[in-house]
Amino acid sequence: MSYSFDTEKVAAELIQWVKDYFAENASPETKAVIGISGGKDSSVAAAVCVKALGKDRVIGVLMPQGEQADIAYSRLLVDTLGIQSYTINIGDTVSTFMNELGKHIEPNAQAVINTPARIRMTTLYAVAACVGARVVNTCNLSEDWVGYSTKYGDAAGDFSPLSDLTVTEVLKIGDYLGLPKELVHKVPIDGLCGKTDEENLGFTYAMLDTYIRGEDDLSAYPEIKEKIDRMHCNNLHKLRLMPKYEQTR
């Protein structure tokens, strides 16, 4: 199977989709609030929103946890797009919460990793409430596919412009929109153990993307195929609506 991606066409459709979403679901003054990490996803999603809504209707929120070594990338994106921004440090909030939690139960690795992401999403919704805005979800298809996101953290949001685009496709959109290379092609690192996302996953996004799009069945890499399939199955709960009990009538 050969998969073709028309960058110019998809970029235009993406911008129009954001315009349509706000036209149908918000007032003309409603803004978009987006967490700015300085990586590919927040950079491309923010740029798309600026193209669709104008820079005056997009607000970036920088949320370092204490000292953030690469925060200059986030500031570069804000300056490049010319958008309003707030820097809200979540370091003390995370520490206070984890200390209080630790009085009752020993925080495990999952709690330590996911809690900051959920506090960041709480912060975005607080900003959105103050200014009358919708929160941008910045997840892409590749990360969603294997659950490389935090439920009710970065996996949350009001609208999701990139969730049908693989990492490879997001990079193409970012380059097409003329974003700085150091933002679009910044190597994502988890910020905890110093490993890249791909090192943590155990495979490259290029391999994952070709598998998702049906260009490679990964028959030459059966262990990786099995791992991707298992991760996808185990993490579908992050993508589906919360199940609810329905009365029989």
Region of 142 please: left (phi>0), alpha (psi -120 to 50) or beta. Answer: alpha
pTM, two decimals, is 0.94
Which are the contacts of 5, defined by CB distance < 8 A and separation ≥ 6? Answer: 168, 169, 172
Parallel/antiparallel/unpaired status of strands 58-62 and 31-35? parallel
Distance CA 36, CA 127 (A): 13
Domains and CATH numbers, the chain: 7-187 (3.40.50.620)
For residue 199, give both structure tokens: 């090192």
Give residue 70's pLDDT.
Answer: 87
Do 235 and 141 meet the contact criterion of CB atoms below 8 Å apart?
no
pLDDT in tens, 131-167: 999 999 999 999 999 999 999 999 999 999 999 999 9
Position of tokens 């959105």?
128
Distance CA 136, CA 156 (A): 8
Banded pLDDT at 192 (limits 50, 70, 90): low
For residue 71, give both structure tokens: 């925060």
Neighbours of 101 (CB within 10 A): 14
Banded pLDDT at 191 (limits 50, 70, 90): low
Position of tokens 């155990």?
202
Give residue 194's pLDDT.
Answer: 67
Helix residue ranges per DSSP H, 56-204: 71-81, 91-102, 109-131, 141-145, 167-176, 181-184, 197-201
Position of tokens 């129009």?
16
pLDDT in tens, 203-216: 999 999 999 999 99
Distance CA 49, CA 59 (A): 10
